[in-house]
Each structure stands twice: as C-alpha cells, then as structure tokens.
Chain A
Amino acid sequence: MTWFADSPGWRAFRRDTMAMTGLTLVALVVLAALFADWIAPYPSHAGPIGDFGAMGAPPGGRFLLGTDTIGRDLLTRLIYAYRLSLEMAIVVLAIATPIGVVVGLLAGYLGPAWSYGLMRLTDVFLSIPPLVLAMSITGFLEPSAIHGMIAITAMWWPWYARLTYNLTRAERQEGYVVAAEIVGASLPHILFREILPNCMPSILTKMTVDVGFVILIASSMSFLGLGAQAPTPDLGSMVADGAKYMPDAWWLTVFPAIAILIVVMGFNLLGDGLREAADVAR
C-alpha cells in the first residue's frame, strides 16, 4: 500500500479535516456494526425482551444512553440498528448500481433509439419523488425490511443510469474506445473492459455518499411504519416510537436521531473527501 500512502490524492485527503472526520465516523459505525455481538452491552436487548427492572431508565449508570419503555438498553439497540442499516444499504447498492450502470452504458453507447427509450424510462422513475416511489411500492407489498430494500432499489437504479449515461457519452469518443471498435472488440468487451473502468471512480464516489442516503431513506420509511417491523432494532422506527414519549423520555428520540445524523454525515463527508482527493490525484 505504499503507493497509496504517498499518492497526492491521499495526502490531500489527510489534510482535509472534514474528510478525515467522515472517515472516522464511518469507521466507528462500521466497526460497531461488525462487532455488535461483542461491543453491545446487552446483546439480548436487540430482541423483544429487555430488563423489566429498568424500564424507561434515563441515560447514565448501567445504561449509558438509557432504556426504552420495556427496559431495553438504547445503546445496544442503536448498535444493532446500525448493523441493519448498513446491511440494507449494501444490498440496495449492490443491486441498484449494476442495474443502473448497465442501463447507462447501453443508453450511452448504443444508438439514439436505445438511448431515447432507456433514458425516458429512467425519467419516468426520476419524475416521482424518491421517497414517494419507494413508499408506494412498499404499499403494494407488506411493510418489512426486505420489501423496503426492494422498494429503495427500484427507486435508486435510475440515478446510476443517468450518471453512467453521462460518463459513457463523454468516453465513447475517446481514442481507446474508437481503437477497440476498429479492432472489432465485442460489445461487452467495449462496455465493461474499456468504458466501465474509466467510469468507476465517479461511480464509487457516488456509492460512498449513497450509503448514507440509502440509510436516510430507509429510516424515513421505517419512521412511517413502512420498513422493518418490531422488535427489529431500526433507526427510523426507534425515532417514531420515542416520539410517543416526548418530552419526558427525550433520550428515546434524541439519541436515535443523532445516530442517524452520524452515519449519514459520515458517509457524506467521506464521499466529498474522496471526490476532492480524486480531483487532486488527476
């Protein structure tokens, strides 16, 4: 990794306080989610049953962030909620990105008829406000974390289609693409071996930022009761449940709210930092 440590991009990234803050927040969240079973103070509280002797305990003491109305440790539930959020974001992006990228590559590389048809299809998806589209798709199914993921995937791929389309349009005139065409390379070879690698930096940067935004949308849906169902710990539904006990049990609302802010902001700052570092490297 020495080449990386010395690269101008990494040096710029390290000097960027905001980017390093983002990296730190993301690292904290990811590590907490990965090692939830070891880190969480009361792993059993991730389920439906808590400590009946300590219902609605305020922050401090045995329960750092307090407990909910049935005595479950808030910190534990937040750590497990991070795990669910990250899983959802990874699954959504792992499905939405390839779909969008393939549509974008085809629309950008093939003739005008293809690009018109595919991009109008993309426009249809983009003309429905993202949250509304995801919610209505969930509406036709049963509310659950899985269906939430399906719905968010359905609204997410068009953004990658549009991004890849624009990148592909810029790349297809480049010499290396023309050269590949002249030697008679196959369509998949040109799309995936020649064009795609040059689009990857932008796509990866967008994916980084999007991890945060998928979590934001997913939590918005579960806040409305259209995502993960009880007793699964979930950031959005924890805020919604906590809001019922405002203002007395304020911690039930405030800490999950801050938890969402931390993860979304972390990925946001990290993505911005990566984008600027990539510009410096170029």
Chain B
Amino acid sequence: MSPLVRTLIHRLAASLVVLAGVSMLMFVVARVIPGDPARIALGPNATEAQVEALRRERHLDQPIPVQYWEYVREVARGNLGNSLYSNRPVRQDIAQYLPATLELIFAAAAMIVLIGIPVGVLSARYRRRLGDHLGRVGSIVGVSTPAFVWGVILQLVFAYFWRLFPIEGRLAASLPPPPPITGFFVIDSVLAGDGKTLIDSLHHLALPALALAMAGIGQTARLTRASMVETYRKPFIEMAHAYGFREARISNRYAFRPALVPVLTILGLDIAALLGNAFLVESVFGWPGLSRYGVEVILHKDLDAIVGTVLIIAAAFLVANIAVDLLVAVVNPRIRFAGGRA
C-alpha cells in the first residue's frame, strides 16, 4: 500500500472519530439546555398530550445515552430527523440548500488561491518596495474586516452605486434555473449548454464570492509572503542564485514550491472560515444557501435541523482538510514518501 493511501485511510478514520465527537457534543448541548425540547418544538399552544406524544416518538423520555444511541442509529440510516421550521426531513432541506453554499465556497476558495498566493509571491519578490507595502496593508485590512462588512461595502459600491453587479440572489428572476444535475448553477448551465444562464449566474456569484474570499485572500497573501521570505533565506535558494537560475524562475518554481507547503496547510483553516462566513455573506446577498437556512433554524430553535446542519458543515470541513492534506503531500515529496505529516 502506498504511503499516500495509508495516510488517506488514517485521516479518514481519525475524521470519523472526530465526527462522532461532534455529534455527541452537539447532542449533549442540545439536550442539556434549559427547557423541554418537545415543548420548545411544538410551541406554547400545543396540548400536554401532543407534547407527550412527541417526547415518546423522539425517545426524549429516555436517558441521554439512549437518546444519543437512537439518534446515531437514525443518522446511520441517513435520517437526520425532521425540521420543525420547514416541516420536512432535515436531509431534504440540506440537499436543497447545500449546493448553493458549496458553489459560493468553491468560488471563494478559487479566488483565495488565485489572488492570495500570487499577491504574496510578488510581495516577497519585491519586498520592501511600494507594491509590497501596499500588499501588506491590504492583507491586514482584508484579515481585519468581517465578511459581512465586505459584503455590505461591495454591495454598496458595486451594486447600488455603480450598478455593475446584481444586488442579490443567484439568478435573475426572468431566468429559470438550469436543470439540476450538480446543483451548481455555473456547472449545470454549462452542462445544459445555456450561455445566458451561465453568464448571469457568474454575474450573481462574483460579489458574494469576493466578499467571502477577502479575509482568506489577505491571510493567504500574508502567509505566502512570510513563507517565501523565509524560503529565500534557505541555502538551496542561494545555490539557485549561484548557479544563475533566472529570478522569475526562482520565485515561481524553486522558492515557490517549498514555500507553498505551509500555505496549503493553513488553507484548511481558511476553509473553516469560509464555511462560517458563508452565513454572513448569504445573509447580505440573499443567497439561498444552507447558511440562511441555518440562521432560520437557529432562530426557531429547530434542534434536529441545527444538529444536522452543524454535522454536515463539520463533515464538509473534515473532507476539505483531507483534500488539503493530499494536496500538501503532492507538493511536498517528503510527505509523499514518508507517509504521515512532516
């Protein structure tokens, strides 16, 4: 078995343990809060008999370990419970809202990588010049500004004042959504060969994705710069200079690849921020994703839906981190050959 596969299996197993921990944590928190979950769920107007029936149906009259066991059995069967807010299975709600959120997050992640890393590389290459100073100030501002502030500012400037982008939504009201295959409008409209929908969905995606990406762009640029500066001090870069490798080749290849390793490792944390900040950005831009659903169910104290949403987000985060680990292994041969983490 190749070390890479071994690492992958090891990481998957560890993730399952953590996910079990997350479900337990959420479950315990949801059950120890003051108040009777069944009463909260049904509202003050329900009769005592109705409350009692729900209590029995959800095993709420049993001790917490038993309740948890029942819950896990249901989850294993793919049943996340029912949402009291939407009156539908939580699984169905998540399936409906998740693709929009993922599309937003993928777009933001792409922006982080495609803008943040080059800015950091150039900043390091031209360090202590004007561009570098501007880049560093920009990075600090990016990191220090919450995603919702980016959202309202970008919306105010580019949608309200200059009218370059739509104010909210995923698609113009006049356009029907593309036939759902992946749930990503951008991909689905390509699959359907519908150029007009593709352009409109990209147009709607641009501002929210940028608002979501800004903090990550700043963070990544800062880290890439620091990592590149650190790498430039390494003997192998002095060797590259001594052997006359061209400056651009050193910065884009010889220093870049080793410097990328810590940057990619931290990308995992950026993804956590993206999953959290999606809540804010979706709220600003009326993006019909999981996060807006999450806020609604939180405000409605819809316990099963809250736990289900958190579980899905934690799972998405763990999957993303495994993907990042694999990416690190591809870039860093030391891990590829040794297995395990450097």
List residues of chain B with CB under 8 Å of any chain A CB. Answer: 17-19, 21-22, 24-26, 29-30, 33, 136, 140-141, 143-149, 152-153, 155-156, 160-161, 272-277, 279-280, 283-284, 294-295, 297-299, 301, 303, 306-307, 309-310, 313-314, 317-318
Contacts and interface: CB of A to CB of B under 8 A. Distances in A.
Given A135-B279, A140-B303, A269-B140, A127 B152 contact: no
A70 B306 CA distance: 35
Contacts of B295: 135, 224-226
A260 interface: yes
Nearest to A223: B148
B29 to A, nearest CB: 6
B143 A268 contact: yes
A50 interface: no
Interface residues of A, number: 46
A48 interface: no
Contacts of B298: 135-136, 138-139, 226
B21 A123 contact: yes
**Do most interface residues of chain B lie in helix, strand or loop, or is the interface mixed?**
helix
Contacts of A264: 144-146
Given A129-B314, A131-B280, A264-B146, 5 more contacts: A123-B18, A219-B148, A224-B279, A239-B152, A250-B156
Contacts of B294: 132, 135
Contacts of B310: 128, 132-133, 136
Nearest to B305: A139
A108 interface: no
A143 B300 CA distance: 11
Contacts of B299: 139, 143, 225-226
Contacts of B136: 18
Contact of B21 (A124, A242, A243, A268): A124
A163 interface: no
B283 A224 contact: yes
A219 B151 CA distance: 14
A223 to B, nearest CB: 5
A124 B298 CA distance: 21
A165 B305 CA distance: 35
A140 B306 CA distance: 9
Given A139-B301, A243-B152, A129 B283 contact: no
B29 A140 contact: yes
B160 A223 contact: no
A257 B284 CA distance: 14
Contact of B144 (A125, A129, A135, A261): A261
Given A264-B145, A265-B141, A129 B275 contact: yes
Of all A-B residue pairs in the complex, the 10 with the closest CB atoms, nearest first, are A131-B276, A139-B298, A124-B21, A247-B160, A265-B144, A129-B276, A264-B144, A129-B272, A129-B275, A257-B149
A251 B71 CA distance: 49
A64 to B, nearest CB: 20
Contacts of B277: 131, 220
Contacts of A223: 146, 148, 280, 283
Interface string A170-214: 000000000000000000000000000000000000000000100
A214 to B, nearest CB: 12
B107 to A, nearest CB: 18
